[in-house]
Amino acid sequence: MPDLYAHRWGSSGPLVLLVHGSFATGAEEWWAQRDLSEAGCRLVAVDRRGWGQSAVASGEDFVRDGEDIAALMEDGAHLVGHSYGALGTMMAAAARPEATLSLTLLEPPTWTLADEVSARAVAGAVRGLMEDVDLTDEEWVLHFLAAFGTTPSTLPVGMLDGLVPLVGLVRRARPPWGHDLPLTDLAAASFPKLVVSGGHHPGWDATCDVLAARIGASRVEIPGAGHEIQFVGTALNRVLLDLWEIDHPAGEPSTGR
């Protein structure tokens, strides 16, 4: 895949593809999962098109992401996707169910599936942003972060300034409600599925509840890092190892299977 750059940790074991969300790269978003390589996993954290060191894109596109991820799956891979990146992993898993060892989705933006008022509120806020042409990029990113449950004041110093030049890629994204997701195909697939929320917003929790029910997935809540669930590190890593039926490193307790 010459158009894509991937960060790789571990040289042996089952392949794990880690797919980041918006305003991030593979290395930035999945640093807390690098320890999974010590459990015998071969981790590949791809930079999606338009992000990091991968090819330039005019806007995010989860359909194209799905094609890219499917091409990276080799003969079999565990798929883990966060936020917008989770949409692409859903597409890839549906396209190559025979090569999908498991599918884990961390707060994918599938709010339109839920009737919960709080979920509709998140969907409405994001839809309004995607259609707003008057906000400056600086204003837009503040509203976007708030809608996704991130408080700008909690970000590291200077990080917000670094996000502003990237706003165009998100403003021009294929919206989550603009394409039918492969829910029926995923529900029919036999591989293990897991949907995870961060327990920080009722709209996200409701969204994850409905998605899990629609595709026949297990459902877990892992609080502590808001929408950026992967940053909790060990708590998520334990859940992933259990899903993959891989022994925990020495001294790490299992969460139970």
Contact 77, 16 (CB under 8 A): yes
- How many residues does the structure list for the chain? 257
Alpha helix ranges (H) inside the chain: 26-29, 62-72, 84-95, 117-131, 137-147, 159-163, 167-171, 183-188, 202-215, 234-244
Q: What is d(CA 241, CA 257) in angstroms, rounded to the nearest whole number?
A: 10
C-alpha pair distances (Å), 106 with each of 135, 185, 215: 29, 19, 14
Q: What is the CATH number of domain 5-116+175-244?
A: 3.40.50.1820
* This prediction's pTM: 0.93
Instruction: Between 163 and 238, name the one with better pLDDT.
Output: 238
Take residue 164 and report the two structure tokens written for it.
Answer: 């502003």
Tell me the HSE value of 164 on the side-chain side, using a 13 A CA sphere. Answer: 9
pLDDT, tens digit, 9 for 90 and up, residues 120-142: 998 999 999 999 999 999 999 99
Q: Would you state the structure tokens that stand for residue 136, as one six-digit string?
A: 């400056």
Mean pLDDT score of the chain, rounded to an integer? 92
User: Which pLDDT does position 204 carry in this prediction?
Assistant: 94
pLDDT tens digits for 32-61? 999 999 999 999 999 999 999 999 999 999
